[in-house]
């Protein structure tokens, strides 16, 4: 890809070109003076700018030495070059974090087994990791989404739970060399099990997320048809698509509309399961006197069963869905009802 002409080059583009023309030692000294945000922007531009033609260099760097007018900057090995520069400026750990943000595709290509690990059934992950050292397991679990990591931990032998979680909490910096060693170990295990380990793809949550992000008409058209094919699936999809937490996007006015339809005891139980700051979403839609009274009632209720809280929250979700269907409750703009 050719760098754009001068009138299209922004300040970050010009800075990226200049840094790439410097010797690594000089570039590292400059990068070490930047803030994390500046580093992130500059590294992202350096990785994404592609081939930089001689004319683009001349246009971007006014008055630059004539000897550079025909040198150009190759795009080959760009990510590795950026990594070396950042290593010299901020160290390996910070560099790894930055590169995962600005060049995730390259990072994933470099760690194929870790990439595959994210697709495996958590029970299979538990089986693969069961004979690893707790430190190694902790590092590998941190490469996964939290929900997947939690399920994989549960699949491990119980005597590993405590040492693994202890190391997750106290892990600190991990060198890239250590990650690479774990990668080779993981690759060997996956190769040994090749063809026998199932990949987990799709599922209720993924389907619900796709529906939530689709045009409203898709939900209206698809959900009734799914209900005819598989009533249980339709019910599970509805539960996943609209959770109590989605109500947190309501503004004060709409929250007030919802509160008028909720029984006091149901509201007390539902809010009992929330953090104080989350409760403010509902307190803010009431008068100060009513909010103070509700706080006192929640406090006086004492401990309640989690199942009671969940049931109350589901009742409120049902009320919210009815109000949305009646056009009385608006959770977004236009067709984006769920955000």
Token pair belonging to 185 = 């170990």
pLDDT per position as a tens digit, 249-264: 888 999 999 999 999 9
Output the pLDDT for position 206: 75
Closest CA to 281 of 297, 293, 265, 267: 267
Output the pLDDT for position 267: 93
pLDDT band at 110 (very low <50, low <70, confident <90, very high): very low
Token pair belonging to 44 = 């992202």
pLDDT per position as a tens digit, 35-60: 777 788 888 888 887 777 777 676 66
Output the pLDDT for position 23: 77
Cα–Cα distance for residue pair 207/211, rounded to 1 Å: 6
- pTM equals 0.39
Token pair belonging to 143 = 């490469």
- Among 26-30, 31-35, 107-111, 239-243, the minimum mean pLDDT is found in 107-111
As a residue count, the chain comes to 339
Q: What is the chain's mean pLDDT, rounded?
A: 77
The pLDDT of residue 265 is above 70: yes
Output the pLDDT for position 7: 43
CA angle 334, 336, 339 (to 5 degrees): 140
Place of tokens 């190694």: 136
pLDDT per position as a tens digit, 60-100: 666 344 434 455 555 656 777 777 777 777 776 567 667 76
Output the pLDDT for position 54: 75
pLDDT per position as a tens digit, 175-197: 777 777 787 788 777 767 655 55
The pLDDT of residue 5 is above 50: no
Higher pLDDT, 187 or 157: 157
Report the pLDDT averaged over residues 145-168. Answer: 88
The pLDDT of residue 104 is above 80: no
Strands (E) across 34-164 are located at none
The answer to whether 42 and 98 are in contact (CB under 8 A) is no
Higher pLDDT, 28 or 316: 316
Could you give the 3-state DSSP secondary structure of residue 34?
A: coil
User: How many of the other CB atoms lie within 10 Å of CB of 129?
Assistant: 24
Output the pLDDT for position 75: 61
């Amino acid at each position: 890809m050719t760098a754009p002409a001068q009138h299209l080059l922004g300040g970050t583009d010009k800075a990226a070109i200049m840094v790439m023309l410097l010797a690594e030692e000089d570039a590292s000294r400059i990068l070490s003076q930047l803030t994390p945000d500046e580093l992130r922007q500059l590294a992202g531009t350096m990785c994404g700018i592609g081939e930089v033609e001689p004319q683009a260099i001349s246009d971007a760097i006014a008055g630059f030495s004539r000897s550079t007018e025909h040198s150009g900057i190759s795009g080959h090995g760009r990510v590795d070059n950026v990594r070396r520069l950042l290593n010299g400026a901020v160290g390996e750990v910070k560099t790894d974090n930055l590169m995962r943000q600005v060049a995730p595709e390259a990072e994933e290509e470099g760690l194929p087994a870790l990439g595959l690990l994210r697709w495996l059934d958590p029970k299979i992950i538990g089986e693969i990791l069961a004979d690893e050292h707790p430190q190694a397991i902790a590092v590998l679990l941190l490469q996964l989404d939290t929900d997947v990591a939690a399920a994989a931990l549960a699949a491990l032998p119980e005597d590993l739970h405590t040492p693994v979680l202890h190391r997750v909490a106290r892990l600190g910096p991990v060198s890239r060399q250590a990650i690479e060693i774990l990668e080779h170990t993981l690759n060997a295990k996956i190769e040994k099990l090749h063809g026998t380990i199932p990949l987990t793809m799709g599922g209720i949550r993924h389907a619900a997320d796709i529906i939530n992000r689709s045009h409203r008409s898709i939900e209206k058209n698809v959900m009734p048809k799914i209900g005819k094919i598989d009533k249980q699936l339709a019910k599970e999809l509805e539960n996943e698509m609209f959770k109590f937490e989605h109500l947190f996007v309501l503004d004060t006015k709409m929250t007030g509309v919802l509160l008028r339809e909720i029984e006091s005891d149901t509201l007390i139980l539902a809010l009992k399961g929330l953090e104080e700051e989350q409760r403010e979403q509902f307190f803010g839609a009431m008068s100060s006197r009513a909010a103070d009274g509700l706080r006192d009632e929640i406090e006086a209720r004492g401990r309640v069963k989690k199942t009671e809280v969940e049931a109350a929250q589901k009742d409120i979700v049902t009320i919210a869905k009815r109000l949305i269907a009646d056009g009385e409750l608006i959770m977004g703009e236009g067709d984006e009802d769920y955000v």
